[in-house]
Structure 1
Amino acid sequence: MTFKWHLKIPSMTSCSDGPRAQYPKSEERREILSSRLLPLVRFSHMTCRKLRKVLTCTDIDHEQATKCVTEALLYKADAPHRQRALAADTTTCRKFAERAYKYRPLKVVEFDRPYPQCIAYLDLKRDECSRLFPSGRIYSQAFHLAGQGFFLSAHCNVEQQSTFYCFGLFLGMQEKGSMSVTVDYEFAARTRPSGEFVSKYKGNYTFTGGKAVGYRNLFAIPWQTFMADDSLFFIDGMLHLRAELTIKQP
């Protein structure tokens, strides 16, 4: 039997203001950011909201910021095989290769009619999932629906009724500036041999800031079966997850 859980999640929206504290003079700060720090930033893996903030940041040269953001948006719009080629090319990999980010990147599709709706895709490598054992968590980047910030989190946890470890998936709403909102949600995963997304669980939940809802045992199997070489859920070493959110209430 699988149980739905409601969790209290700490805020994920806090950020450091380190450069301003370390370099109080604006000219020096802009020089350090432009010449030393920005070349290390992989803008292509930032969310669109973060890219907008880059454009309005007064500590970054506007022309340089525009160039970086434009390049990132072109990469995001490119075909998947082109993205992989850029990430693998030795001349461009420093800009486009994905790092081990604290918050995993998502691919998000949004709709505003007939209801506010978004579909978020989260891909996790087998070794990332393996490192979750026995009690680890992976958080996604934030994504937004009807002005509210949400995130996904993948867990290794214990199925309380059976006392075995299993893979769990949760959907949370950010705490900062949030209000109560009711969401219809559905979790799905690609499954072998068809490679198609198969719905695992769906539900309806009224979120308030900092709360999350999800399933401790998404696939209704023990951890060892989930991670086995013949697992139905890893395709070419990748776990493909999908969360669909819809707000039907005004």
Structure 2
Amino acid sequence: MKNLTLEAPATGAFLSDITSETLLYPVRQEPRKGASAFETLLLHTVSHELRTPFSIIQSSAELLEMMRVDPMVTEQARVIMREIKQVTDLMNRLVQFSRWEPGALADNQQPADIEKATRDCIGNGFSPWKDGRHVAYKLTGKPRDVRLDPVIFQLVLRNLVENACKYSTGKRPPLVRLHYAQASWSVSVRDYGIGIPDADLARLFKPFSRGSNVGDTPGLGLGLRIAHYLVNNFCGTLTLTSREGKGTTATATFLYR
């Protein structure tokens, strides 16, 4: 076993315990104050530039729905409108959260039903996944409302589940487990796919970093980085446990607040 101290670009220092199977990123220490000027400017610019094309897509979909040309066309128009609404809502939240200091986000959230948010996330896009597999779901412990924005939580979960599905093609479906313990709650995503080589573990939370064994599987190397950043800013912990050729488990853990 060896210990490394890694610098996370958006959130300060993290102590990582690396073995042949596990990479642990604990709760952040000494968070920096707010997002950087560049990150905030980039977020606001992207949000602004996407609003016009999203409005056009939304209007076109509404028109298709009203025309009722074909039942299948009408249904797809409704899917487009639902997805546009979700993305727009997400952008608005990210812009709003960029004005908060890291760590303050969790203290300014209303109680939410994360169990429902988990089921909805799995049902909208992962059951079935593109290859026909249905992501499995398991609930343990007694559900309770927690103070965490459900839209941001679903963004984290979508990134983790999408990775699990992409890198386990031809294997058994990934498993999402939501667990309510006495002092904390967690959501884990386990896949049975290609796993992560030992040499790659330490850098996978950095932007545009991917495993050396991904082959032709499409991706930008941003999913884990986004999930890590959001979990960290809500005072959570994101851990990866992986064995090459056997699969990976990503777990986000939060204290009750």
TM value normalised by structure 2: 0.28
In proportion to residue count, which structure has more helix?
2
TM value normalised by structure 1: 0.29
